[in-house]
Chains A and B, each alone.
Chain A
Amino acid sequence: MKAGEEGRTAAERVYATLLRAYSRPFREAYGDDAVGAFGEVYRDAWSSGAVAVFRLWTRTVRSVLAGGLRDRMERRREGGGVGGRSSGGDAARDARQALRTVARRPGFAFATIGLVGLGIGATTTICSVVYGVLVRPLPYPDSERLVHMLKEGSSVPVPDFVDIRQETRTLEALGAAHTVTADLTGSGEPERLGLGLVSDALFDILGARAYRGRLFTPAEYEAGAERVAVLTMGLWTRRFGADESVVGRTIVLNGEPTTVIGVVGADYVAPEALGLDRADVYMPLDLARPDYQNRFMFVLAVVGRMRANAGIEAVQTDLETLAARFRAENVEGWTGRDGGPRSVQATLLRDRTVSGTGNVLWMFLGAVALMLVIACANVANLFLARSTERTHEMAVRAALGAGRRRLIVQLLTESTTLSVAGGLLGMVLAAAGVRAFLIMDPGGIPRIAEVELNAPVLAFALVLSILTGIAFGLAPALSSAGTKAAAAFRETGAATTASRSRSRMRGILVVLQLAMALVLLAGAGILFNSFLHLRGVEPGFEPGNLLTVQLDTEARVPATQRADFVHRLEQRLAVLPGVTAVGLSWRLPFDRGRCCWASRIFDPTTASDTIVSYFHPVTPGYFAALGVTLADGRGFNEADASVGVIAPASAPGDPGTGHAARMPIIINGTLADRFWPGAGAVGRSFGMPNSPTVYEVVGVIDGMRHWRLDADLGADVYLPFAATAGWDIGLLDVGIRHDGRNASLPTLVREVFLELDDQLPVDRIIAMDARIAGSIATPRFYAALLATFAIFAFMLAAAGVYSSMLYVVGLRRRELGIRATLGAGHDDLLRLVVGRAAVLVLVGTVIGVSLALALGRVIESLTFGVSPGDPATLAIVATLLAAVGITACWLPARRAARADPVVTLRAG
Chain B
Amino acid sequence: MRSDPSRPAMAVARSGDDVSAALPMHPRDFLILLALVDGALHGYGLVKAIETESEGEVLMDPANLYRSLRRLERDGLVAEAAGPEDGGESDDRRRYYGLTDFGRAVAVAEAARVRRLVRVARTKDLLSASEEGVS
Contact B62 A38 (CB under 8 A): yes
Contact A70 B62 (CB under 8 A): no
Contact A63 B94 (CB under 8 A): no
A103 close to B (CB within 8 Å): no
Contact B44 A41 (CB under 8 A): yes
Tell me, rounded to whole Å, the shortest Cβ–Cβ distance linking A75 to chain B. 11
Nearest residue (CB) in B for A56 is B59
Contact B95 A33 (CB under 8 A): yes
Contact B61 A67 (CB under 8 A): yes
B115 close to A (CB within 8 Å): no
Contact B64 A37 (CB under 8 A): no
Contact A37 B42 (CB under 8 A): yes
In this complex, which of B43, B47, B63 has the most chain A Cβ atoms within 10 angstroms of its Cβ?
Answer: B63
What are the residues of chain B within 8 A of A63 when measuring CB–CB? 61, 63-64
Q: Contacts A4-B93, A36-B93, A41-B62 hold; do A70 and B67 have CB atoms under 8 A apart? A: yes
Partner of A34, one of B59, B63, B134: B63
B-contact 0/1 string along A35-55, CB 8 Å cutoff: 111101100000000000000
Q: Contacts A36-B93, A36-B94, A37-B44 hold; do A59 and B61 have CB atoms under 8 A apart? A: yes
Tell me the bound Cα distance from A137 to B134 in angstroms: 19
Contact B67 A37 (CB under 8 A): no
Q: Contacts A4-B93, A33-B94, A36-B93 hold; do A67 and B63 have CB atoms under 8 A apart? A: yes
Tell me the bound Cα distance from A4 to B92 in angstroms: 12
B70 close to A (CB within 8 Å): yes
A-contact 0/1 string along B40-74, CB 8 Å cutoff: 00111001000000000001011111110110000
What are the residues of chain A within 8 A of B43 when measuring CB–CB? 33-34, 36-37
A320 close to B (CB within 8 Å): no
Nearest residue (CB) in A for B95 is A33
Nearest residue (CB) in B for A63 is B61
What are the residues of chain B within 8 A of A34 when measuring CB–CB? 43, 62-63, 65-66
Q: Contacts A26-B67, A30-B66, A36-B93 hold; do A60 and B61 have CB atoms under 8 A apart? A: yes
What are the residues of chain A within 8 A of B63 when measuring CB–CB? 19, 22, 30, 34, 38, 63-64, 67-68
Nearest residue (CB) in B for A141 is B134
A679 close to B (CB within 8 Å): no
Tell me the bound Cα distance from A63 to B64 in angstroms: 7
Contact B66 A33 (CB under 8 A): yes
In this complex, which of A26, A29, A30 has the most chain B Cβ atoms within 10 angstroms of its Cβ?
Answer: A30
Main secondary structure of the interface of B (DSSP, over half): helix
What are the residues of chain B within 8 A of A33 when measuring CB–CB? 42-43, 62, 66, 94-95
A591 close to B (CB within 8 Å): no
A-contact 0/1 string along B93-104, CB 8 Å cutoff: 111000000000
A-contact 0/1 string along B61-89, CB 8 Å cutoff: 11111110110000000000000000000
Tell me the bound Cα distance from A4 to B94 in angstroms: 11
Tell me the bound Cα distance from A141 to B56 in angstroms: 12
Tell me the bound Cα distance from A67 to B44 in angstroms: 18
A710 close to B (CB within 8 Å): no
Main secondary structure of the interface of A (DSSP, over half): helix
Tell me the bound Cα distance from A36 to B62 in angstroms: 9
Query: Which residues in window 181-215 of A have CB below 8 A to B?
Result: none
Contact B44 A40 (CB under 8 A): yes
In this complex, which of A26, A41, A59 has the most chain B Cβ atoms within 10 angstroms of its Cβ?
Answer: A41
A71 close to B (CB within 8 Å): yes
Tell me, rounded to whole Å, the shortest Cβ–Cβ distance linking B112 to chain A. 28
In this complex, which of B43, B47, B65, B70 has the most chain A Cβ atoms within 10 angstroms of its Cβ?
Answer: B43
Tell me, rounded to whole Å, the shortest Cβ–Cβ distance linking B72 to chain A. 13
Query: Which residues in window 90-135 of B have CB below 8 A to A?
Result: 93-95, 134
Tell me the bound Cα distance from A67 to B70 in angstroms: 13
Interface size on B, residues (CB 8 A): 18
Tell me the bound Cα distance from A469 to B86 in angstroms: 49
What are the residues of chain B within 8 A of A71 when measuring CB–CB? 67
Tell me, rounded to whole Å, the shortest Cβ–Cβ distance linking B8 to chain A. 16
Tell me the bound Cα distance from A30 to B62 in angstroms: 10
What are the residues of chain A within 8 A of B64 when measuring CB–CB? 63-64, 67
Contact A37 B65 (CB under 8 A): yes
Tell me the bound Cα distance from A461 to B122 in angstroms: 44
Tell me the bound Cα distance from A41 to B44 in angstroms: 7
Tell me the bound Cα distance from A807 to B14 in angstroms: 71
Tell me, rounded to whole Å, the shortest Cβ–Cβ distance linking B111 to chain A. 23
What are the residues of chain B within 8 A of A4 when measuring CB–CB? 93
Tell me the bound Cα distance from A57 to B117 in angstroms: 37
Nearest residue (CB) in A for B91 is A36
Tell me the bound Cα distance from A512 to B34 in angstroms: 53
Contact B62 A29 (CB under 8 A): no
Nearest residue (CB) in B for A55 is B59
Contact B62 A37 (CB under 8 A): yes
What are the residues of chain A within 8 A of B69 when measuring CB–CB? 30
Tell me the bound Cα distance from A59 to B95 in angstroms: 24
Tell me, rounded to whole Å, the shortest Cβ–Cβ distance linking A821 to chain B. 65
Tell me, rounded to whole Å, the shortest Cβ–Cβ distance linking A4 to chain B. 7
Tell me the bound Cα distance from A29 to B95 in angstroms: 11
Tell me, rounded to whole Å, the shortest Cβ–Cβ distance linking A11 to chain B. 12
What are the residues of chain B within 8 A of A37 when measuring CB–CB? 42-44, 47, 62, 65
Nearest residue (CB) in B for A22 is B63
Tell me the bound Cα distance from A790 to B64 in angstroms: 41
Partner of A30, one of B44, B47, B61, B70: B70
Tell me the bound Cα distance from A29 to B66 in angstroms: 9
Tell me the bound Cα distance from A36 to B47 in angstroms: 12
What are the residues of chain A within 8 A of B59 when measuring CB–CB? 59
What are the residues of chain B within 8 A of A38 when measuring CB–CB? 61-63
Contact A64 B61 (CB under 8 A): yes
What are the residues of chain B within 8 A of A32 when measuring CB–CB? 93
Tell me, rounded to whole Å, the shortest Cβ–Cβ distance linking A818 to chain B. 59
What are the residues of chain B within 8 A of A60 when measuring CB–CB? 61
Tell me the bound Cα distance from A68 to B59 in angstroms: 17
Tell me, rounded to whole Å, the shortest Cβ–Cβ distance linking B108 to chain A. 28
What are the residues of chain B within 8 A of A68 when measuring CB–CB? 63
Tell me, rounded to whole Å, the shortest Cβ–Cβ distance linking A218 to chain B. 12
Tell me, rounded to whole Å, the shortest Cβ–Cβ distance linking B49 to chain A. 12
Query: Which residues in window 11-32 of A have CB below 8 A to B?
Result: 19, 22, 26, 29-30, 32
Tell me the bound Cα distance from A163 to B125 in angstroms: 35
Tell me, rounded to whole Å, the shortest Cβ–Cβ distance linking B81 to chain A. 14
Partner of A41, one of B42, B47, B93: B47
What are the residues of chain A within 8 A of B62 when measuring CB–CB? 33-35, 37-38, 41
What are the residues of chain A within 8 A of B47 when measuring CB–CB? 37, 41
Tell me, rounded to whole Å, the shortest Cβ–Cβ distance linking B125 to chain A. 15
Tell me, rounded to whole Å, the shortest Cβ–Cβ distance linking A796 to chain B. 36
What are the residues of chain B within 8 A of A67 when measuring CB–CB? 61, 63-64, 67
Tell me the bound Cα distance from A29 to B67 in angstroms: 10
Tell me the bound Cα distance from A290 to B70 in angstroms: 66
Tell me, rounded to whole Å, the shortest Cβ–Cβ distance linking B43 to chain A. 4
B-contact 0/1 string along A129-169, CB 8 Å cutoff: 00000000000010000000000000000000000000000
Partner of B70, one of A29, A35, A59, A64: A29
Other contacts beyond A30-B66, A40-B44, A64-B64: 20, CB < 8 A: A22-B63, A22-B67, A26-B67, A33-B42, A33-B43, A33-B66, A34-B63, A35-B62, A36-B43, A37-B43, A37-B62, A37-B65, A38-B61, A41-B62, A59-B61, A63-B63, A67-B63, A70-B67, A71-B67, A141-B134
8 A-B pairs with least C-beta separation = A37-B43, A63-B61, A37-B62, A30-B66, A37-B44, A34-B62, A40-B44, A67-B64
A-B contact pairs, 28 of them (CB 8 A): A22-B67, A26-B66, A26-B67, A26-B70, A29-B70, A30-B63, A30-B66, A32-B93, A33-B94, A34-B43, A34-B65, A35-B62, A36-B44, A36-B93, A37-B43, A37-B47, A37-B62, A38-B63, A41-B44, A41-B47, A59-B59, A63-B63, A63-B64, A64-B61, A67-B61, A67-B64, A67-B67, A68-B63
Q: Mark B residues whose CB is within 8 Å of A.
A: 42-44, 47, 59, 61-67, 69-70, 93-95, 134
Q: Mark A residues whose CB is within 8 Å of B.
A: 4, 19, 22, 26, 29-30, 32-38, 40-41, 59-60, 63-64, 67-68, 70-71, 141
